[in-house]
Structure formats: C-alpha cells, structure tokens
Chains A and B, each alone.
Chain A
Amino acid sequence: MNMTTISAEELQTASGRRLRSSLARWMFLLASAVTILISGLIIWTIASEAWTFASQVAADQLQTIGWFPRRGMFDIGTLILNSAQIAIVSMIVAVPSGLGAAIYLSEYAHPRVRRIMKPTLELLASVPSVVLGVFAISFITPVVLSKFFDEINFFNKLAAGIGVGLLVIPLIASISEDALRAVPRDLREASAGLGARKATTAIRVVIPAALSGLMAAIIVGFSRAIGETMVVTIASGGGDTSLFETSIKESGGTVTSAMAALGLGTDQVAGNDLAFQSLYFLGALLFIITLVMNMLGNLIVRRMQERY
C-alpha cells in the first residue's frame, strides 16, 4: 500500500493567508486609533482657543450683565441661566413622558403593541432638530402657549424648552426601557407570587430595582438637552446677543445658540477681537458639562449591568 507522507510544512497555513490575516489586524487597530485621534483633536482645538480667550479677557468684560460678544461683553452667566432654564423645562416635559412610555412598554404592553410602538419612538428620535424649531415657532408658541399666557414673546425660552423636551423623550424612553428590562423576571414573579397587583409590582419592585438606570436616563437626557442647538436658536435665541432676563416667557440665547450665532458670523467677526475666541470658550464649557454628565450616566448604567 502506498503511504502518503505529510510534512510539517504542508500542515502550516499558507504564508499568503497568514500575511492577509495579520495585515487585517493592523488595519483594524489603526482604525480604532482614529476615535482616539478625534478626541485628542477636539480637546486640543477647544483648549488652545479657549485658553486664548480666558487669558486675554478682562474681568469686567465677564461681569457686565448681558451677552454682547461683538461689543466685548461676555457675561457667560446670562447664557448659563438660559441653558439651565430651557433644560429644566425640557425635563419637565420629557421625564414623565419618557419614563411613562418606558414603564408601559416594558411592563404592560402586549408584544404586538410593543413591536409597533418601539419603531415609532425611534422615528420620533430621528426628527431633525430644525424641524422641531420650526414647530416651536409655528405651533407651540402661537397656538398653545398664547392660550395660557396673555403676554408672551414670540421667541421665548418656554417654547424652546418644550421643543427640546419633545426631542429628548425617545432618548430617555430608550435608556429607561433598557434599565427596566434588565431587571430579572424572577423579581416580578416573586412579587406576583406574594399576591401583588401588577401596578404594585411595577412601582414597589421593578422601578426601585431599576432606579439607578432610570437616573442615568435622566442625566443623559439632561446632558442632551443642554447640548441641543437648533431648537433654541430658532425658537428663543436667534440673535447673537442676549439680555439678562429671568422670565421664561422672554427670549434668550443659550450656550449652544450663542455658539451657532457666532458661527454664522465667522466671516465677518467685527468689533471685539475676542468674539471669535469666545466661541471656543463656550465650546469648552459645554464639552466639560456634557462630558461629566455622560460619564456619570455611563458609570451608573455599567454598575447596573454588573449587578444583574
């Protein structure tokens, strides 16, 4: 009988195949370095110009009330107040609706209802923010708010906040639903076994178990609301200047809308030299605030995933 002998060399993977495989490895490694590069570039870009602003601006330019960058008045407090007011209004709109939708979808909805509702909520998430801005000035202010308030500015922070809130609903709903569904079935069954009603199970067992995840959803939603630009620019802070105004029935620019306004005029930055740099200073502020909130939210979500 004729025996075939196989040498060790023949058993080895052909060198071409090995080469291709290790080339692919380097390609993927290189690609993942791009995301780090982007972060590095963002931080470097913002930090260098923001530093120019911070080191050259005079203290009294920051303290004169009102945001008039072209005239050298950089009262950031005015913008932060407006950002905070609009974000809080948006949370009042988005938190009940977002959490309610999440609890309904995870605890009550029939699978068939859920299959229709979830994509609809996703669709809501993809409505462009400029469209919501248009909606705010063509419907929320003139049709809804004018019924409740006799005197309300056509551009106002309340409408902007409601618009931002509508935009944030799907985000909060989706993160909270993930948190609620991560709660093990056993807990629900044990509660039902003790004779608890469905609502009792939801309120006393499932929600407390998922509480940290729901908090994370609200934090991430708030961060998104702070960073939202176009709704506010269209509905409240169209101009590049902003008076100090505490009433939410009046107009006012936020950190983000002031950036958009400065961006629109980058070709013709006239007047104060620091106006262009202030754009980056606001960017740095926004970046830090949202980064801290998102990291906190992510940390909470991760803790919760580890627990269950």
Chain B
Amino acid sequence: MRLASSPADIAIQTAKTRQSLQRRPQADLPGTLFKWLLISFTGFAIAFLGVLVVVMVNDGWSVLSGRLSGFLSNGFSQRSAQDAGVWQGIVGSVQIGIATALFAIPVGIATAIYLVEYATGGWFARAVELNVRNLAGVPSIVYGLLGLTVFVKTLDGFTQGKTVIAGGLTLAAMVLPIIVITSVEALKAVPQGIREAAYGVGATKWEVLSRQILPAAVSTILTGTVLSLARALGEAAPLILVGAATGFISFGDSNFLETFTGPFTALPVLIFNFARQPGEDWSANAAAASVVILILVLMINGAALYFRNRFEKKW
C-alpha cells in the first residue's frame, strides 16, 4: 500500500476508510423477513383465538339469540335439542369446582410451604419435588383411572360412588401439582431478608410464615390457584371415566348439599354430549354451550389477572 504523503492524500484515505467501515444504510431484507415471519406465527396463535370465538358465537347464534334463558335454565334433554340446556352442567361444574378447591388448595399450598420453608434438601424433599413435576405431566385421563378405581370404588363409603365428591377428588389430584409448582415459585419470590428480619425479632417459624411470608405471597399463590381451577373447569376426560352422567339427571327434591352425593355432570361433559348427537340443532347447542364455558373461563382468567395486578408486590 502506498504511504500517504500529503495532507490531501491523508484526507482522501481517511474518507475512504470511513466509508468502507460504515454500513451503508441498506434495508436489512432477510432480517425484516425473519421478523415478520415470527410476527405471523405469533399472530396465527392469537388470530386462532379470535376465529374460535367468532365461529362458536356464529354457530350457536340460533340458540343464544332465540332461547338463551331456556338454554341456561334447562337440563340436558335426551328427547329434543330444542329443550336442551346447560343448567345442570353449570351447577355440576360449580359443585365440582368447590370440591376440587376444598381438597387441592390446602394440600397444595401446604406442600409448597414444606418444600420452600422447611425442606433442607433431604431425600424426602427431593422425592416430593421430582414427584410433583412428574405428576404435572400425567395426562388427565389417567387421573380418571385413579378416580374410577380409588375414589369411586375403594373409597365408596366416603364418596358414595359416582358423585360430585369423587369427581372433585379426581380433579383435585389432577390440579394439585400445578398448585404446588406455582405456589413454590410464589414463596421463593419472597425475599430472604423478610424471613431474617422476622426471626431477628424473635418470631417462631410458624409466626414468620403466617404473619410475614404467606401475606406477602398470597396474591401470586391465588393467581396460580385460580388459573389451575380454570383448567379443572374445562376438563371432561377424567370426569367421563369417573362416571359423570351423560344424560338427564333427576335431582328430585334433594337440597343443594344432598346433590353432592348424587349423580352429577359438568359443563364440558355436557358439551361433549351435545357434540356427539347428530343434527344441526345439537351442534348449535354444542357451540352455544362452548360460548358459555368460554365466557366462564374468560371471567376466571380475568379474575386471576386482576389479583396479579392488584396485589402483586415488586421487591
């Protein structure tokens, strides 16, 4: 390379070098394409949700606009699609939800507390942790087998057979690992300093837990719990195995508490039944019932988001 000798030469050389180092402001075509590919994949997932809602409302419109109050208040009708309704499914789902929450929430949160606050890395804690993670991946229908054998048959004396209690226990076993996992994360997010400060002023372990850590973690725990219950609300497969009624149930004149130990059904099981019947009217019922369950799921998710935003603490 020729040595630059005059100031003019140096100036020209510098300008050339600068130009070669500077990236020309060209459009980054592959990069932009990649970005838009990603956006379209994301958009596909989001758009699907929109299409799903539109299709369900459209298909169920004859029912939703024509006989909404009857649809919401009637039971399942084997005889005619025009009389069929979702009332028993809603009642059943609420009852099963209550039973599930009663069984799963205390045990789930207590397990999480043990894992985070008490366990010191011993074999038992490790076994529980591994076990919870594996249980979370077990398909829901397998929990149905557990329910059928253990809760319906073996524990017949407690559950009275194919009842809301048996269904609730089955779904509780199913959501338990999810509640444990989300609660463990919530508890781990509470800063160590809070524990140390509480111990420092002489609190016992239980006092530290009940007055400091749990209040600090409760909103996150609630969010996770509510979301897991939303999942239980949408489950049909385990309930089918546990023996959810697939036709009309006569409650007779039994009161609300007595129906916990009678035959039961649930909203997703009803949708499954509507979908199995041939004919336009039944598929309109299935779509309309899907709209009902989507609204319920949306409400529950909204509640969870509200908890999260309203009470979430930033440390």
Interface of A toward B, CB cutoff 8 Å: 13, 17-18, 20-21, 23-25, 27-36, 38-39, 41-42, 45-46, 49, 96-101, 103-105, 108, 117, 119-124, 126-135, 137-139, 166, 169-170, 173, 195, 197-200, 202-203, 220, 223-224, 226-230, 233-234, 238, 256, 259-260, 263-264, 266-267, 279-280, 283, 286-287, 290-291, 293-295, 297-298
Q: Cα distance A130–B268 when bound, in Å?
A: 6
B131 within 8 A of A: yes
Q: Are B205 and A138 in contact (CB under 8 A)?
A: no
Interface of B toward A, CB cutoff 8 Å: 23, 28, 30-31, 34-35, 37-42, 44-46, 48-49, 51-52, 55-56, 59, 106-107, 110-111, 113-115, 117-118, 124-125, 127-128, 131-146, 148-150, 173, 176-177, 180, 202, 204-207, 209, 227, 230-231, 233-237, 240-241, 243, 246, 268, 271-272, 275-276, 283, 286-287, 290, 293-294, 297-298, 300-301, 305
Q: Cα distance A49–B28 when bound, in Å?
A: 62
A42 proximity list for chain B (CB < 8 A): 138, 142-143, 145-146
Q: Are B236 and A13 in contact (CB under 8 A)?
A: no
Contact among A13, A199, A203, A294 with B137 in the assembled complex (CB-CB below 8 Å): A294
Q: Are B272 and A133 in contact (CB under 8 A)?
A: yes
Q: Cα distance A283–B272 when bound, in Å?
A: 21
Counting chain B CB atoms within 10 Å of each CB, which of A23, A35, A127, A202 scores highest? A35
A133 proximity list for chain B (CB < 8 A): 272, 275
**Nearest CB of chain B from residue A213's CB, rounded to whole Å:** 16
Contact among B49, B55, B236, B300 with A120 in the assembled complex (CB-CB below 8 Å): B49
Give 7 A-B contacts (CB < 8 Å), ordered by A residue: A31-B107, A34-B176, A101-B41, A134-B290, A224-B137, A227-B140, A266-B148
- Interface residues of chain A: helix, strand, loop or mixed (majority): helix
Q: Cα distance A195–B136 when bound, in Å?
A: 43
Not counting A96-B41, A234-B275, a sample of 17 additional A-B residue pairs whose C-beta atoms are within 8 angstroms of each other reads: A27-B110, A32-B125, A34-B107, A97-B41, A97-B44, A104-B38, A104-B41, A121-B46, A127-B49, A129-B237, A130-B275, A130-B293, A169-B45, A198-B31, A203-B34, A256-B237, A286-B139
Q: Are B34 and A199 in contact (CB under 8 A)?
A: yes
A203 proximity list for chain B (CB < 8 A): 34
**Nearest CB of chain A from residue B90's CB, rounded to whole Å:** 14
Q: Cα distance A50–B31 when bound, in Å?
A: 54
